[in-house]
């Protein structure tokens, strides 16, 4: 009987995955060890792995020669060495598209909360303070420009929702040619031009060597002093120390951040004491609806591979052993 090992999980329990495995006639075990040494120990006899945040180095794949697939409960795969997986004949599967609507909802929500100082006035209300004026300036959508960095599915959904609210939308993306317009009518600009023009800069890029700290101190210096930064992509896309410094110096309107360079975020992280921030604990991807789809699709990919069925959303189909 084939065996699936959940090496680590972002969910409160794995009942959902165990039920799918039983229905498919597949053995399953679950652990909570995302580090390479944990994975090697716990998945020694695994044919398939399902992971949320596991780190898969070349050493992991070398130690698991019988591993047919790693299926990640998410879109990104920066913690998985895909070339090493391919060399080991291990397929790598992800779940694109599951969070398009909810992540874009969250990005828009963060932008509006920061623009309107919602968390600050809410805290005042609970402290018995009735005085919105002490949190001025307060902003509005009309007349502002919303810049989308990365026009994949989530970026496009965010642009659509921003435009629907009344923002002017501009965008930049590796796949788009500056000086043109998208089919939806959004101006495509160079990254630095977007930073200079945007009242909100919302990041929706994958984490690669090229995008790591793409919003650093220099990039922040190009932005308007009343601009808002939103990040629901990957934590390391933004140099969060530089962002916190700019916020404390009053060089930005504020920031809405859902993802951090290290998670859970350190209790002494400078963003936690920076003014005019709305911070959420990597929650943008989750709704009850998106969570069920995510778990089902990730588990189904693992079941498919060990059953000899070609999986959906495989990054390296040449690694399949059938």
Instruction: Write out pLDDT tens, residues 175-222.
Output: 999 999 999 999 999 999 999 999 999 999 999 999 999 999 999 999
230: DSSP letter: E
For the chain, the first-to-last Cα distance in angstroms comes to: 17
- Report whether pLDDT(319) > 90: yes
Lowest mean pLDDT: which of 8-12, 111-115, 255-259, 274-278?
8-12
What strands, in cross-sheet order, belong to the sheet with 48-51?
A: 27-30, 3-6, 48-51, 69-72, 91-93
Write down the pLDDT at residue 292: 95
**Known catalytic residues?**
234, 263, 282
Cβ-contact 182, 176 below 8 angstroms:
yes
pTM of model > 0.75: yes
Among candidates 99, 114, 186, which has minimal Cα distance to 151?
A: 186
Domain architecture of the chain: domains with CATH: 3-98+288-319 (3.40.50.720), 100-279 (3.40.50.720)
Write down the pLDDT at residue 76: 87
- Report whether pLDDT(283) > 90: yes
Which residue is it, tokens 């101006």?
187
């Amino acid at each position: 009987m084939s065996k699936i090992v959940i090496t680590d999980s972002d969910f409160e329990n794995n009942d959902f995955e165990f039920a799918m495995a039983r229905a498919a006639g597949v053995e399953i075990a679950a652990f909570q060890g995302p580090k390479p040494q944990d994975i090697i120990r716990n998945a020694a006899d695994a044919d398939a792995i399902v992971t949320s945040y596991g780190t898969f180095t070349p050493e992991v794949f070398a130690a698991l020669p019988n591993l047919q697939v790693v299926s990640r409960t998410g879109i990104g795969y920066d913690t998985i060495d895909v070339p090493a997986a391919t060399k080991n004949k291990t397929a790598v599967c992800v779940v694109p598209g599951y969070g398009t609507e909810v992540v874009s909802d969250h990005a828009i929500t963060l932008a509006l909360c920061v623009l309107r100082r919602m968390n600050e006035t809410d805290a005042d209300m609970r402290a018995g303070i009735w005085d919105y004026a002490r949190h001025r300036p307060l902003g509005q959508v009309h007349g502002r420009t919303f810049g989308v960095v990365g026009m994949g599915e989530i970026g496009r959904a965010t642009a659509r929702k921003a435009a629907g609210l009344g923002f002017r939308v501009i965008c930049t993306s590796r796949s788009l040619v500056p000086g043109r317009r998208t089919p939806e009518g959004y101006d495509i600009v160079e990254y630095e031009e977007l930073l200079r023009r945007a009242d909100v800069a919302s990041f929706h890029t994958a984490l690669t060597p090229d995008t790591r700290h793409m919003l650093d101190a220099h990039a922040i210096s190009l932005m308007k002093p009343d601009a808002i930064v939103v990040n629901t992509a990957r934590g390391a896309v933004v140099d969060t120390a530089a962002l916190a410094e700019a916020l404390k110096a009053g060089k930005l309107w504020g920031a809405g951040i859902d993802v951090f360079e290290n998670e859970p975020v350190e209790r002494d992280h400078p963003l936690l004491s920076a003014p005019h921030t709305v911070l959420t604990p990597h929650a943008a991807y989750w709704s009850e609806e998106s969570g069920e789809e995510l778990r089902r699709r990730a588990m189904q990919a693992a079941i498919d591979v060990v059953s000899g069925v070609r999986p959906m959303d495989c990054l390296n189909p040449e690694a399949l052993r059938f």
